[in-house]
Structure 1
Amino acid sequence: MDQVGPDVTADNHSRRYLIAADTGGTFTDLAVFDTQTGETRFGKTLTTYGDLVAGVIAGLEDTKVRLDQAAIFKHGTTHVINAFIQRQGARTALVTTKGFRDVLEIARGNRPETFNLRYRRQECLVPRRLRFEVAERIEGKGEVVQPLDRKDVERLIPVLRAAGVEAIAVSLLNSYVNPIHEEEVARMLSEALPHVYVTSGTRLSREWMEYERTSTAVGNAFVGARMSEYIAGFFSELNDRDFRGRFYLSSSSGGVITAEDAIAQPIALVESGPVGGCIGAAAYAAALELPRIVAFDMGGTTAKCALVEDGRFDVVSTYWVGGYERGFPIRTPVLDIVEVGAGGGSVAWVDENKRMRLGPKSAGSDPGPIAFGRGGIEPTVTDANVVLGRIGSDSFMGGRLLLDVESAKTCISEQLAGPLGYSGPDAVDRVSQGILDLANVTMAGAIKEITVERGRDIRDYQLFVFGGGGPLFAAELARDLGIEEVVVPPHPGAFSSLGMLMTEARRDAARTFLSALSPASIVGAQSQFEVMERELRDSMSAEFDVSRICYLREADMNYVGQSHTVRVSLPPELSVGAVRSAFEREYLARYGHSNEGMEVTFVALRAGGVVPTARPSLEAVKWVGEVNAEPGPSFYRQIYFARAKARLTTPVYRRSDLPIGAAIEGPAVVEEYSSTTVIGAGDRLVVGKLGELRITCAINRRTERSTHE
């Protein structure tokens, strides 16, 4: 067990637990770490949309831990991204510099889908009638050209009040270099409209590009009012149930932030849920000495994937809500994740051309898949897995949720097989397998996007899978992609919450720094980093013990004349040669070549402050059977396998019975409380040193590659 941080020892011994709760679209997962014994416990329950804390309490019952025993509560939520996707935010207004009212619609002025005659961007979060201008002007170097007209701001106040706005975004031209006018406008509006959520671009990003800054401010305001209520309400509910510890939220950059920071900057939570799994995957990759893995998470609503290379994952500075082609950008550090709408709850349906489609609609937890027996009427990926015998109807979630196989069969037959023209005794099996094939294609596309499309050879990676649905699809996905080995960690269905327990306190800062790489710019960069690091230390000192703080230094850089940049991890000692070498290594990895002799430029500097916290030991989480035991199957089940095109009598093992070193030849199934792992015919499973399941796929694409090459 790692040393317990001072943020835990400051509490009395009765509050000994760290709790992490990942509230997803279908399930709420919990992990609880005992700082005194090193034990980690897990819980899982259906997400209760009406009262999310009730779902947390229900999950805690599995762990036998009470809220009044918790020193720290870490929370990950999909609230922000859902609010953006569903457009369920506040009625928002924008206040900007005169002449820049339409920057949201003009955007970059590009057309990502050149040959699509019906191309349309998503509607702006703020309609034109709620976008207002004030007279002021600051030039590019920060000098005031035209003072702020305060009367313009005063005239806006009754207009905004009459419009019934709930949130206001303030984004003025060039305020990233001199925020004096923007801060004054935000102050005046906050004082005059105390019940309106007011945010400014300067408080969120000190980087150039007015479109991205304005879009970021608008996005923050759009979700800010609702998230303020959500966070305050969630914390209040915890307090009502005797929680007296410290409450943090999981940020998109891979750390935790305070509730106050989250209320001021809710866009930092845009990918709050998925990052926990990436943190956990990176920890396992380092412990198992896996240099390159694809971290793949399939939950109830979506599937996500990210690359972990040498124990590190990429963090991007701009996140496109709704995708680059049609969405809008927000400037906030986010783990580089590709997400697709293929989860256990994704609904299968037949379109007007008699083609079966999958998603993006999800059954969620209410009503959920048909097999859940909670009122669901549309067939889902989970229903297909249940019908094919891949998920046990009486062993799902340890038997706590009995599954209705016959209802799932009937709906798939009536809604899919019949309209598609399938008949015969195996019609439902064939259509159910078709649902899984569609999910596989969608998920394989996401993995290719984050590997092949970024210049990586996917065959050099291992597939590290988690989430309730990940182990069900892992072997087949790996086979399709040419990946040799699959790794399934312990407790995959609650893995994101385990990753949250491992997150450290983190804050990030960035500054535009336009300068060619030279001895002078190195001195300037060093000075700017020292300023940012001092600000990070001061801002974190009130909540965390910053005596152990460490800093991360990165820069956005490019060759002179380029508009796109690459993010570069900078060496501890800055010098022209060392920085250039780091840049060219990253550029070569991204584009396959570098331009020796061409001038290199800085565009932005990024600093991160990280404070270590208590975390579970992976050794204590492994959860394996007795060393000398000879594990045998608990029972057999008829399971449909795509390659056999038939049901096979398949042994089913309990994961908790498998000791380290145990080996199983496929076809087989390994069940546990939170997930099910399917091993295809010819696949081989071995239990690794940390209790992980390592599956070698039957088709060795590495051999095929060497033959062809």
Structure 2
Amino acid sequence: MHRIGFDVGGTFTDLTLHNTATGALHHFKLPSTPADLSDAIASGIGTLLCQAGVSPSAVGFVGHGTTVATNMVIEHRGVRTGLITTRGFRDVLEIGRQVRPNLYDYTVRTPVPLVPREHRIEMRERLDASGAVLQALDEDAVAAAADALGAQGVQAIAICFLHAYLNDAHERRAAEIVRQRLLGVFVCTSSEVLPEFREFERFSTTVINAYIGPRVDRYLHRLLARLAELGVATQPYTIHSNGGLMPVETVRRFPVRTCLSGPAAGVVGAAIVGREAGFPNLITFDAGGTSTDVSLVERGQPAFATSRMIAGYPVRMPMVDVHVIGAGGGSLAWLDDAGALKVGPSSAGADPGPVAYGCGGDKPTLTDANIVLHRLDPEVLLGGRMWVDEGAARRAIQEQIASPLGLSLEQAALGIIRIAVANMSRAIRAVSTEKGYDVGGFALFAYGGAGPLHAAAVAAECGIT
């Protein structure tokens, strides 16, 4: 049997084919296709099968990690979403909690709710703190709310009632009514998504599930269609944010569970390799094209968390504890209003990508800096399959960074790399020294396109020997 695993990143898609009988491995990497991610997946799988001389019918397992859901939340690319909730609670999403990540930042701005106030409708219904019914659900009001939201063009509806984690009867009935009146609209309830107390976190997680649901479903539909076109009959599994596997139908119902899918897969894999290599204590350092994901592995086991913030929105579920920052090969280098050099968090992504890729990018990136200094050999990128315009990278850094700062081209390129390394090192300290761990007892496990490239500098910066 042959197994295929692939990771869909914001910049590149990586694929591996494993022959379980012989242990043989084949790898392939190609740029992601943001307009339709399945294009890169299908092209990569087809190339792998051709290279290995394997029939699609011989593939018995397909598994993948993805940041599709995370990126939708970060970039606000979900669908128009509605919320049906208990009377008096439609502003829970906006009120949130009195949490100040940056204590002295008087300019802080809270994230805009994913459901605008006009799309949040209150219902007459009430349960007490034990789940007993205090006021029956007004079914006519639910029907009217569904009609109103449908008229507003919503494509997804989250149903979140007070204390529904103890008694889901009202939420289930409301969902039935909405589905009957709005065919094709994605509907989810908080008692299914997160049957736990703490209304704000439960509401937020359920709303995110609804917000990304239709687009994740379309992504899966395209993925299944492309696999079928290739002749791969097996259904793909997706990595859960806790490192486990989910079938397609589970992902369609609970897409929020994939919010840290790709990063979680990397940490779980690193933990296995580390144990086998005799390094049970690891700091995993996954630097890709768009982001850097850092986590801690202690005694061979990944660290886990029960909640985290994604783009400022709380998501509550079991997950591998990954610290994510906007620093990767595609991170843009720029000058702020005071003329200081910055790198990230914005990224050139796969489209248009770094200037050197010649795909329309005109802003210098970390990758361009590495090409200018020949830390990345422009002749062998992607095994020589990817053309690189070193001259364009040099001109972009010279004109936009070096000349305004009065630096040589090489000094400017090195400055870009040093700032990126400082950002990456800060993320490592956040999961290690700032939590009381001595990094001297951990090995740095670097992977991802930009991870090994910057690993030595990051290790030196953090004192990892």
Work out whether 1:467 is the aligned partner of 2:448: yes
Contact 1:53 1:238 in 2 (8 A): no
Which residue in 1 is equivalent to 2:438?
Answer: 457
Work out whether 1:390 is the aligned partner of 2:379: no
Map 1:386-465 to 2 at 5 A: 386-422=371-407, 427-465=408-446
Contact 1:20 1:31 in 2 (8 A): yes
Work out whether 1:179 is the aligned partner of 2:179: no
Q: Deviations along 1:431-458, whole A, 9 cap, x unmatched?
A: 1000000101100000000011211112
Runs of 4+ in structure 1 off by over 4 angstroms are none
Work out whether 1:210 is the aligned partner of 2:191: no
Secondary structure of the structure 1 residue equivalent to 2:345:
strand
Work out whether 1:342 is the aligned partner of 2:327: yes
d(CA) in 2 for partners of 1:166, 1:57: 28
Secondary structure of the structure 2 residue equivalent to 1:316:
strand
Task: Structure 1: give runs of 5+ residues left out of the alignment.
Answer: 1-15, 485-709
Q: Deviations along 1:361-385, whole A, 9 cap, x unmatched?
A: 2112222112222222111111111
Q: Deviations along 1:62-119, whole A, 9 cap, x unmatched?
A: 4434544311111222111111011111110111111111111111134443432222
The Cα shift of 1:400 comes to: 1.4
Work out whether 1:365 is the aligned partner of 2:350: yes
The Cα shift of 1:50 comes to: 3.0
Letter aligned with residue 283 of structure 2: V
Secondary structure of the structure 2 residue equivalent to 1:273:
helix
d(CA) in 2 for partners of 1:203, 1:266: 12
Which residue in 1 is equivalent to 2:244?
Answer: 255
Superposition TM-score, scaled by structure 2 size: 0.96
d(CA) in 2 for partners of 1:318, 1:147: 32
The Cα shift of 1:137 comes to: 1.1
Work out whether 1:281 is the aligned partner of 2:270: yes
Match of 1:163 among 128, 152, 169: 152
Go from structure 1 to structure 2 and tell me whether the alpha carbon gap of 1:170 and 1:396 turns closer, same or farther (over 3 Å shift): same
Q: Deviations along 1:147-192, whole A, 9 cap, x unmatched?
A: 2121221221221221111110000000101111111111111111
Q: Deviations along 1:412-434, whole A, 9 cap, x unmatched?
A: 11111011122xxxx11111000
The Cα shift of 1:201 comes to: 0.5
d(CA) in 2 for partners of 1:208, 1:378: 46
Q: Deviations along 1:477-504, whole A, 9 cap, x unmatched?
A: 11111111xxxxxxxxxxxxxxxxxxxx
Q: Deviations along 1:547-589, whole A, 9 cap, x unmatched?
A: xxxxxxxxxxxxxxxxxxxxxxxxxxxxxxxxxxxxxxxxxxx
Identity %: 38
Secondary structure of the structure 2 residue equivalent to 1:294:
strand
Map 1:267-306 to 2 at 5 A: 267-306=256-295
d(CA) in 2 for partners of 1:127, 1:334: 28
Contact 1:267 1:332 in 2 (8 A): no
Which residue in 2 is equivalent to 1:92?
Answer: 81
Map 1:652-663 to 2 at 5 A: none
d(CA) in 1 for partners of 2:418, 2:98: 38
d(CA) in 1 for partners of 2:109, 2:255: 27
Letter aligned with residue 254 of structure 2: Q
Letter aligned with residue 269 of structure 2: G
Which residue in 2 is equivalent to 1:75?
Answer: 64
The Cα shift of 1:389 comes to: 1.2
Secondary structure of the structure 2 residue equivalent to 1:383:
helix
Letter aligned with residue 232 of structure 1: H
Work out whether 1:59 is the aligned partner of 2:44: yes
Contact 1:167 1:198 in 2 (8 A): yes
Letter aligned with residue 474 of structure 1: A
Which residue in 2 is equivalent to 1:118?
Answer: 107
Work out whether 1:201 is the aligned partner of 2:190: yes
Secondary structure of the structure 2 residue equivalent to 1:31:
strand
Which residue in 1 is equivalent to 2:230?
Answer: 241
Letter aligned with residue 341 of structure 2: M
Contact 2:285 2:294 in 1 (8 A): yes
> Aligned pairs, how many?
461
Bigger CA drift: 49-58 or 119-128? 49-58
RMSD of aligned residue pairs (Cα, Å):
1.4
d(CA) in 2 for partners of 1:22, 1:149: 46
Go from structure 1 to structure 2 and tell me whether the alpha carbon gap of 1:368 and 1:208 turns closer, same or farther (over 3 Å shift): same
Task: Structure 2: give runs of 5+ residues left out of the alignment.
Answer: none
Which residue in 2 is equivalent to 1:534?
Answer: none
Which residue in 2 is equivalent to 1:318?
Answer: 307
Contact 2:59 2:232 in 1 (8 A): yes
Letter aligned with residue 216 of structure 1: T
Which residue in 2 is equivalent to 1:38?
Answer: 23
d(CA) in 2 for partners of 1:114, 1:342: 24
Map 1:574-593 to 2 at 5 A: none
The Cα shift of 1:291 comes to: 2.7
The Cα shift of 1:399 comes to: 1.4
Contact 1:351 1:357 in 2 (8 A): yes
Which residue in 1 is equivalent to 2:457?
Answer: 476
d(CA) in 1 for partners of 2:55, 2:396: 41
Contact 1:71 1:246 in 2 (8 A): no
Secondary structure of the structure 1 residue equivalent to 2:262:
coil
Secondary structure of the structure 2 residue equivalent to 1:156:
helix
Go from structure 1 to structure 2 and tell me whether the alpha carbon gap of 1:154 and 1:367 turns closer, same or farther (over 3 Å shift): closer
Which residue in 2 is equivalent to 1:637?
Answer: none
Letter aligned with residue 331 of structure 2: S
d(CA) in 2 for partners of 1:29, 1:114: 40
Kindly name which structure, 1 or 2, has the bigger radius of gyration based on alpha carbons: 1
Match of 1:189 among 178, 186, 199: 178
Contact 2:84 2:145 in 1 (8 A): no
Structure with greater helix percent: 2
Which residue in 2 is equivalent to 1:522?
Answer: none
Q: Deviations along 1:228-253, whole A, 9 cap, x unmatched?
A: 11111211121122221122111111
d(CA) in 2 for partners of 1:57, 1:92: 31
Contact 1:25 1:47 in 2 (8 A): yes
d(CA) in 1 for partners of 2:208, 2:8: 22
Secondary structure of the structure 1 residue equivalent to 2:40:
helix
